[in-house]
Chain A
């Protein structure tokens, strides 16, 4: 489709160059690139923090750090991975690919888009600054509450908590702006003839994510603001002494927190079927069923929050309700799994790196979902809550289900974005290193949790020593393997075999009709979908 690449009058640079290009850009591809780069950097920052934790947990006893610093690392690691690595990666893909996939010239609100991104670096600084200040003897470091901010600990903490609260405010504004932009783009900018039910699944996943974000992020912002006023302005929202209730914070936090886990995954569920379709050379199976499942999961996501604190003393009817509603989520999720498998079924499959990551992803994310069902059982959760079993569960969903899914997307779209093929051999090596060391890191943690090792502790009983040692060594392999990922990306940006427009033999969709890399202004004339 050569009409789409016809040079528009401002094709070559009516945009500034150098640093000003990036500071002022409103181009969806530039902004997407910035999101993805930021995400990769923060992924490495958050990763190094947790390697500090794994080093401390290598042996029982306190070797490297005091417990307070340990707790700070854990909390900031989680906040960075969720808000500064996973969410920006998904938003980066949205910016890059949604306009291309729906045949739009750009995002609907380009200036808002620029703002959305540039709020991120300041919030990353807010999150990490307390560590640096503490080095100079100012304050006592970052927040030590874990990423969940539970009072009363968060009311007693030092100014690290305030920094984190402001960081969450900025991050919240950023994702609300990003979401509004995506919804408007999807509603107003689709190519003529592309009805909602003809949108690629990635667009669908993001549409529901965006609605979840604008509905729940303000609740988190409200909760942490109340925390702030409790800390400094004498209110007692969560302070029992003044008639408040710390458990109410848990309700507010998880009213956001549970939808958040689907916010992190819906974009991935969107592009996984597209990858499967490409490398199975068969159309996506059950498109409609997948769209309806997205809706079902989006709706259920906001009514199951209390499964995160079954042990806080809820009455039995509430326990039963939250148990059954949580388990009900696995039904639409099972529909999705079925569709993914059926898309591959009897296809002529090939296993390039994106496909390897995708197939691995299905298996590992499956383990994450199944162990979630175990935790949703109220009676079992009384034993497993706050244990390493929970840690292993949410790493199967967030590292495998989130990060490894994003990696599949990176390998899938990198040739399109850069115009070069990445090194396939290194890509495959990266997959196997990641998959094996990931399992070696977290399988032992399931057993540690079953045996009763609590999470968020710097020291542990002797009987847990061997499994922690295995987990720590594997974690370092996992972390170092990601340097290979960085190397592959950098070499691919720099050069390599020229990518064709279609890139992958079985690839279908509007983004593959453009040149690789696509022109700075794509679809100046919108394609028409029949």
Chain B
């Protein structure tokens, strides 16, 4: 690259050094930009997942019931599964393994949790719906997963879930699975 020796006292060599430094610092902006991008990806990812239900993420707050029409022409099966993650000394399972219902109809199912340790233990349930496309049509009105749950030593608790399946569920979905993973919510 040609460097013209302008008459400002600096030798071409010094001018070149200056130009190099300048460009070097400019390139640091790209680095800063991509650091910012990696941090921004976290909220973006969450927004994208809850909006679209990718990954089976469901809402973590209660849905409002806007439309109480029940679509009696359709049957949908919802299956329930449960997992207790390592580090949580509980037994946890649904009282029924599946339910058949009409879209729009509000249902309640019960889950049973038992603390099998001799300590007070807190847990947090994380739901996930599969297939992922169905998750935004799965509406929870009341769920034990909205807040932390605490069990006394040996205590057994019935935990209710009230939900409905939205009537605009795509017609090719007739079955979905709701899975709960219960995590320890105590600080180790």
Name A's B-contacting residues (CB within 8 A). Answer: 108-109, 112, 176, 179-181, 183-184, 187-190, 192, 211, 214-219, 221-223, 226, 234, 237, 239-243, 245, 247-248, 251-252, 255, 313-315, 318
Distance to closest chain A CB from B67 (angstroms)? 25
Distance to closest chain A CB from B49 (angstroms)? 7
Bound form: Cα–Cα A251–B40 in Å: 13
Contact, CB under 8 Å: A315 / B1: no
Which 6 A-B residue pairs are closest in the complex by CB-CB distance?
A: A241-B183, A222-B38, A219-B38, A108-B20, A218-B34, A218-B35
Contact, CB under 8 Å: A241 / B184: yes
Most buried by A among B19, B27, B187: B27
Contact, CB under 8 Å: B185 / A188: no
Contact, CB under 8 Å: B20 / A184: yes
- Sample 7 A-B pairs with CB under 8 A, ordered by A number: A180-B28, A184-B27, A217-B34, A222-B35, A241-B185, A247-B55, A248-B41
Contact, CB under 8 Å: A180 / B24: yes
Contact, CB under 8 Å: A221 / B41: no
Contact, CB under 8 Å: A252 / B38: yes
The 8 Å CB contact of A216, one of B34, B41, B60, B126, is B34
Bound form: Cα–Cα A184–B132 in Å: 47
A222 surroundings in chain B (CB, below 8 A): 35, 38-39
Judge if B75 is at the interface, Cβ distance under 8 Å: no
A223 surroundings in chain B (CB, below 8 A): 38
Contact, CB under 8 Å: B38 / A241: no
Most buried by A among B31, B41, B46, B183: B31
The 8 Å CB contact of B2, one of A192, A239, A242, is A192
Knowing A188-B23, A241-B185, say if A176 contacts B42 (CB, 8 Å): no
Range class of the B interface residue count: 35 or more
Bound form: Cα–Cα A181–B23 in Å: 10
Bound form: Cα–Cα A226–B31 in Å: 18
Contact, CB under 8 Å: B34 / A214: yes
A242 surroundings in chain B (CB, below 8 A): 124
Interface residues of B: mostly helix, strand, loop or mixed? helix
Bound form: Cα–Cα A242–B130 in Å: 20
Interface residues as binary, B94-132 with A (CB distance below 8 Å gives 1, 0 otherwise): 000000000000000000000000000000101000101
B30 surroundings in chain A (CB, below 8 A): 211, 214-215
Q: For the A-B complex with A184-B20, A219-B38, A248-B45 known, give 5 more contacts whose Cβ atoms are closer than 8 Å.
A: A192-B2, A214-B27, A218-B38, A240-B181, A245-B49
Contact, CB under 8 Å: A219 / B187: no
Distance to closest chain B CB from A86 (angstroms)? 22
Contact, CB under 8 Å: B1 / A314: no
Name B's A-contacting residues (CB within 8 A). Answer: 1-2, 16, 19-21, 23-24, 27-28, 30-31, 34-35, 37-39, 41-42, 45-46, 49, 52, 54-57, 60, 85, 124, 126, 130, 132-133, 181, 183-185, 187
B19 surroundings in chain A (CB, below 8 A): 188
Interface residues of A: mostly helix, strand, loop or mixed? helix
Distance to closest chain A CB from B104 (angstroms)? 25
Bound form: Cα–Cα A118–B132 in Å: 48
Knowing A180-B28, A188-B16, A234-B187, say if A219 contacts B34 (CB, 8 Å): yes
Contact, CB under 8 Å: B60 / A243: yes
Bound form: Cα–Cα A158–B57 in Å: 30
Closest chain A residue to B19 by CB distance?
A188
Contact, CB under 8 Å: B35 / A184: no
B57 surroundings in chain A (CB, below 8 A): 245
B55 surroundings in chain A (CB, below 8 A): 245, 247, 313
Contact, CB under 8 Å: A245 / B45: yes
Contact, CB under 8 Å: A109 / B21: yes
Contact, CB under 8 Å: B184 / A226: no
Distance to closest chain B CB from A139 (angstroms)? 18
B21 surroundings in chain A (CB, below 8 A): 109
B20 surroundings in chain A (CB, below 8 A): 108-109, 184, 188-189
Contact, CB under 8 Å: B54 / A315: yes
A112 surroundings in chain B (CB, below 8 A): 24
Contact, CB under 8 Å: B60 / A183: no
Bound form: Cα–Cα A176–B27 in Å: 10
Contact, CB under 8 Å: A184 / B24: yes
Distance to closest chain A CB from B70 (angstroms)? 28
A215 surroundings in chain B (CB, below 8 A): 30, 34
Knowing A237-B42, A247-B55, say if A189 contacts B85 (CB, 8 Å): no
Distance to closest chain A CB from B26 (angstroms)? 9
A243 surroundings in chain B (CB, below 8 A): 60, 126
Distance to closest chain A CB from B141 (angstroms)? 20
Closest chain A residue to B86 by CB distance?
A156
Distance to closest chain B CB from A30 (angstroms)? 19
Knowing A245-B55, A248-B45, say if A240 contacts B126 (CB, 8 Å): yes
Bound form: Cα–Cα A239–B45 in Å: 14
A255 surroundings in chain B (CB, below 8 A): 38, 41
Bound form: Cα–Cα A181–B25 in Å: 11
Distance to closest chain B CB from A339 (angstroms)? 28
Contact, CB under 8 Å: A219 / B37: yes
Bound form: Cα–Cα A234–B31 in Å: 27
A219 surroundings in chain B (CB, below 8 A): 34, 37-38, 41
Distance to closest chain A CB from B84 (angstroms)? 12
Distance to closest chain B CB from A398 (angstroms)? 24
Contact, CB under 8 Å: B187 / A187: no
Closest chain B residue to A256 by CB distance?
B38
The 8 Å CB contact of B85, one of A180, A188, A217, A241, is A241
Bound form: Cα–Cα A221–B41 in Å: 13
B1 surroundings in chain A (CB, below 8 A): 187-190, 192
Bound form: Cα–Cα A112–B41 in Å: 30
B85 surroundings in chain A (CB, below 8 A): 241
Distance to closest chain A CB from B10 (angstroms)? 15
B24 surroundings in chain A (CB, below 8 A): 108-109, 112, 180-181, 184
Contact, CB under 8 Å: B54 / A318: yes
Contact, CB under 8 Å: B45 / A251: yes
Contact, CB under 8 Å: B35 / A226: no
Distance to closest chain A CB from B146 (angstroms)? 12
Bound form: Cα–Cα A396–B162 in Å: 54
Distance to closest chain B CB from A205 (angstroms)? 18
Contact, CB under 8 Å: B27 / A180: yes
Bound form: Cα–Cα A243–B23 in Å: 42
